[in-house]
Amino acid sequence: MLYLMLKLRDRENGKRDLAAYLGSLRNADLFVVSGSGGFSDGTRAWNIAILNTIEDAIHRNIPVALFGQGMGPLTDADVLSRAKKVFPFVNLIALRGGRDGMALLESLGVDSSRVLTTGDEAIELAYEARPAELGQGLGINLRVATYSNVEPYMIERIKLILHEFAMFHSAP
């Protein structure tokens, strides 16, 4: 919160922006941080800012969920100290990779019942839990983000190819 206030102080409409932010937080039913690999040593300022915001939501009794999170490596003493005070009170942390992230969260006092693995390493878990007989469906995940360079025309082209394949093989 302090980081946000300092950042807005120099802006012309900072007070209005801060009031809108505080109003949104005050009226929120849930606070979600989605798809971030930010909890690592390369993003110190973001870590402090988001941990302050999460703590603010927790103090307001707003449930907090972190989805698609990459955790670590994280060795910054200040960030680890803040995370140790905040993360144990987060309602749900869904990791996109669980091995190192889970160890980090455990070291910060996060109860494992609040953590799920939903990303890359979840594929391994799903494979281990697969049924004896495979189904007939077709599924695909396509990462569309600014850094992935996936253009809309590419999506349409892939969509056509996949639909043709699925129809040919009578796959849902």
Token reading at 170? 């009578």
pLDDT band, residue 172 (cuts 50/70/90): confident
Torsion over CA: 138, 32, 40, 121 (sign): negative
Q: How far apart are CA 33 and CA 90, in angstroms?
A: 11
CA distance 24 to 17: 11
Read off the tokens for 88: 């144990």
In this predicted model, what pLDDT tens digit does every residue of 58-89 receive, in sequence order? 999 999 999 888 888 899 999 999 999 999 99
Which of the listed ranges 74-83, 139-148, 150-159 does the model predict with the highest average pLDDT?
74-83
The per-residue pLDDT for range 3-12, each reduced to its tens digit, is: 454 455 555 6
Report pLDDT for 3: 47
32 closest CA partner among 112, 90, 106, 105: 90
Beta bridge partners of 141: none
pTM over 0.85: no
**pLDDT tens, position by position, 32-47:** 998 777 788 888 988 9
For residues 126-134, average pLDDT: 82
Asked which of 18-27, 121-130, 153-162 is least confident by mean pLDDT, the reply is 121-130
The strand ranges marked E within the chain are 31-39, 64-71, 92-95, 115-117
Mean confidence (pLDDT) of the chain = 84
